[in-house]
């Protein structure tokens, strides 16, 4: 497998003045293979969007590295970054907010083409617009209409057409379905999957819960308060979640079978999400973790591969800690 994107020990802090530092992303490491979909999951404010924006070069990093096709994104000069940006595109949560309401669909889609001077003639450019509209399940008659004339799902299709306009290799989809009805969510996910197969696209798919990411992701990383807490292939995450936070996220998804639903043990998270300006010492999850031990407030758990391709940051899986504490296995 070939790595398209590598995020290495990435830190992104925002200086809020008066010595206050917002640690939005705190030492996160993962990679995305060519042609796969990597799901990035966590509650709002956990740093997912900040990672997306830092990868694409919209934000400078504080520390660490972002490599795209082996190129260090944050070391590139303006011109090269511009070229690279062509290959990395974003889709946003609220397509209406990200589409200019005074622009026609045609203008929305051609804007990036014009910025990057992709086509020599208007005719060529227009042909491409029609092609893109058809690729996302709309048609050429939609080109002269305005985004507000469309439903949420259709607007997201316009957003996708715009993201495809520059023939990217990599798309960061930042909660692209969170604002849509459940029935429409599946349609958009299916469209993304089809486009991925046709074009060999690679996706970073950002979501705030685990309900839909399974349908699209090959591997999933779970984030909490700026930290990656668990990372593994999709199936393992759902069948064998190791981190207490992942277990809590999974137990929040309703199961349609009432027998299972009734007998299931739910993990309800206590308390509020702490502020990333003043995160807890040791393990960032400890203030809400039902299994927190003494060591959890003193030492930050290591990021360790506990099974093949299954990474977790939690003292429960540290051999030395296990000997002293004998934590009970967690039942689902
Ligand atoms: Fe809970 Fe401790 Fe594991 Fe953190 S390290 S998730 S507080 S058991
Ligand atoms: Mg966000």
Rounded-to-integer distance, Cα 56 and Cα 228, Å: 19
- pTM for the complete prediction? 0.92
CA-nearest of 1, 31, 26, 29 to 13 is 26
Mean pLDDT (whole number) for 19-35:
95
Average pLDDT of the segment spanning 1-6? 95
Identify the burial level of 273 via C-beta atoms within 10 angstroms of its C-beta, where 0-12 means exposed, 13-18 middle and 19 or more buried.
middle
**Could you list which residues have their CB under 5 Å from ion ligand 2?**
49
* Interatomic CA distance for residues 160 and 156, integer angstroms: 6
How far is ligand 1, taken at its centre, from the CA of residue 167, in Å?
43
Residue 254's pLDDT is: 72
Mean predicted confidence (pLDDT) in 42-69: 94
pLDDT tens digits, 257-311: 777 666 667 777 878 889 889 899 999 999 999 999 999 999 999 999 999 999 9
Residue 324 CA to ligand 2 centre (angstroms):
39
Q: What is the DSSP letter of 100?
A: -
| Three-state secondary-structure class, residue 25 | strand
Q: In angstroms, rounded to a whole number, what is the distance separating the alpha carbons of residues 267 and 98?
A: 36
The model's pLDDT over 59-118, given as tens digits with 9 standing for 90+, comes to: 999 999 999 999 999 999 989 988 898 999 999 887 777 778 899 999 999 999 999 999
Model confidence at 332, pLDDT cuts 50, 70, 90, reads: very low
**What is the rounded average pLDDT of the residues 39-61?**
93
Q: Alpha carbon of 71 to those of 152, 163, 222: distances in Å?
A: 36, 21, 26
Q: Cα(174) to centroid of ligand 2, in Å?
A: 7
Mean of all residue pLDDT scores within the chain: 91
Q: ipTM value, please give it.
A: 0.96
Among the bound ligands, name the one nearest to the CA of residue 280. Answer: 1
In this structure, are residues 283 and 314 in contact, taking their beta carbons and an 8 Å threshold? yes
- Between residues 45 and 218, which one has the greater pLDDT? 218
CA-closest residue to ligand 1 atom 6: 314
Reply yes or no on whether the pLDDT at 330 is more than 60: no
Q: Domains along the chain?
A: 3-230 (3.40.50.300), 241-325 (no CATH)
Please determine, for residue 331, whether its predicted confidence score (pLDDT) is greater than 50: no
Write the CB contacts of 139 (distance below 8 Å, at least 6 apart in sequence). Answer: 133
SS3 302: coil
Average confidence (pLDDT) over 203-208: 96
Probe residue for ligand 1, chosen from 316, 320, 324, 327 as the CB with the greatest number of ligand atoms within 8 Å? 316
């Amino acid at each position: 497998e070939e790595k398209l994107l590598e995020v290495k020990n990435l830190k992104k802090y925002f200086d809020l003045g008066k010595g206050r530092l917002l640690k939005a992303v705190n030492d996160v490491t993962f990679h995305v293979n060519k042609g796969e979909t990597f799901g990035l999951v966590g509650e709002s404010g956990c740093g997912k969007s900040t990672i997306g924006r830092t990868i694409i070069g919209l934000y400078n990093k504080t520390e660490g590295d972002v490599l795209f096709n082996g190129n260090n994104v944050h070391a590139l000069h303006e011109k090269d970054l511009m070229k690279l940006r062509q290959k990395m595109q974003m889709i946003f949560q609220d397509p209406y907010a990200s589409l200019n309401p005074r622009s026609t669909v045609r203008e929305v889609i051609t804007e990036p083409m014009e910025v990057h001077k992709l086509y020599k003639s208007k005719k060529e450019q227009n042909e491409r617009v029609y092609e893109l509209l058809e690729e996302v399940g709309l048609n050429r008659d939609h080109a002269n209409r305005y985004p507000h004339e469309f439903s949420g799902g259709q607007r997201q299709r316009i957003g996708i057409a715009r993201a495809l306009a520059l023939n990217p290799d990599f798309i960061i989809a930042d909660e692209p379905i969170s604002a849509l009805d459940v029935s429409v969510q599946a349609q958009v996910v299916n469209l993304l999957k089809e486009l991925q197969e046709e074009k060999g696209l690679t996706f970073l798919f950002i979501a705030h819960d685990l309900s839909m990411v399974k349908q699209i992701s090959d591997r999933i990383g779970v984030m909490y308060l700026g930290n990656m807490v668990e990372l593994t292939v999709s199936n393992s995450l759902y069948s064998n979640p190791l981190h207490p936070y992942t277990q809590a996220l999974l137990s929040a998804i309703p199961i349609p079978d009432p027998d299972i639903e009734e007998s299931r043990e739910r993990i309800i998270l206590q308390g509020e999400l702490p502020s990333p300006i003043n995160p807890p010492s040791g393990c960032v999850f400890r203030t809400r973790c039902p299994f927190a031990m003494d060591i959890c407030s003193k030492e930050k758990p290591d990021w360790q591969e506990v099974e093949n391709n299954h990474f977790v940051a939690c003292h429960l899986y540290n051999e030395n800690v296990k000997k002293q504490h004998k934590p009970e296995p967690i039942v689902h």
